[in-house]
Amino acid sequence: MPRTETNFIATIVQPHSCLLHTTLIKHKNMTAEFVSNVMYGEIVEKVGMSPFRIMLAIQNRYGYEMSYDMAWRAKQLALEKRFGNYKDSYHNLPTLLATIQVRDPRTVIHIDDYINEKGDCFLK
């Protein structure tokens, strides 16, 4: 660098011109939880939506592929967020039946439940 000049160019930024020959097909953040959050409204609105349709929608939106298993799990997570899981539904059954009986006094409900050695309550 000449001593008399005060301005100089250290680098010249060139536009990126090389192409990736192998684009990423899968993304590490593409999880079933992410997909269930993104697709929640559609999955809940169309409960019968197949995992293949979820896979197609994600590929169209984000350009990433996902496995059938992940799409199926994403659907289950979204439905579980909306409707609860089987264990919760089973646990809420006595309350639901009691509410039905209050609204229609002619309803007869008989529940046989027992507790196993682990302390879990089961309905017969």
Residue 50 domain flag: yes
How many structural domains comprise the chain? Answer: 2
Note whether 77 and 85 are within 8 A (CB): no
Q: Tell me, what's the pLDDT at 94?
A: 82
Same domain, yes or no: 115 and 68: no
Q: Tell me, what's the pLDDT at 46?
A: 92
Same domain, yes or no: 67 and 104: no
Q: Tell me, what's the pLDDT at 53?
A: 96
* Angle in degrees, 0-180, between the axes of helices 51-62 and 68-83, rounded to the nearest 10: 100
Residue 10 domain flag: no
Q: Which residues contact 72 (CB under 8 A, 6 or more apart)?
A: 51
Same domain, yes or no: 55 and 75: yes
Same domain, yes or no: 72 and 121: no
The amino acid at 15: P
Same domain, yes or no: 101 and 57: no
Same domain, yes or no: 33 and 75: yes
Mean pLDDT of each 10-residue bin along the chain, 124 residues long: 64 69 68 93 93 94 90 95 83 86 88 76 66
Identify any residues that bridge with 121 across adjacent strands, giving them in sequence order: 115
Q: Tell me, what's the pLDDT at 85?
A: 84
Same domain, yes or no: 79 and 89: no
Q: Tell me, what's the pLDDT at 60?
A: 92
User: What is the domain range of residue 103?
Assistant: 85-124
- Predicted TM-score (pTM) of this structure: 0.60
Same domain, yes or no: 42 and 67: yes
Q: Tell me, what's the pLDDT at 13?
A: 73
Q: Tell me, what's the pLDDT at 109?
A: 83
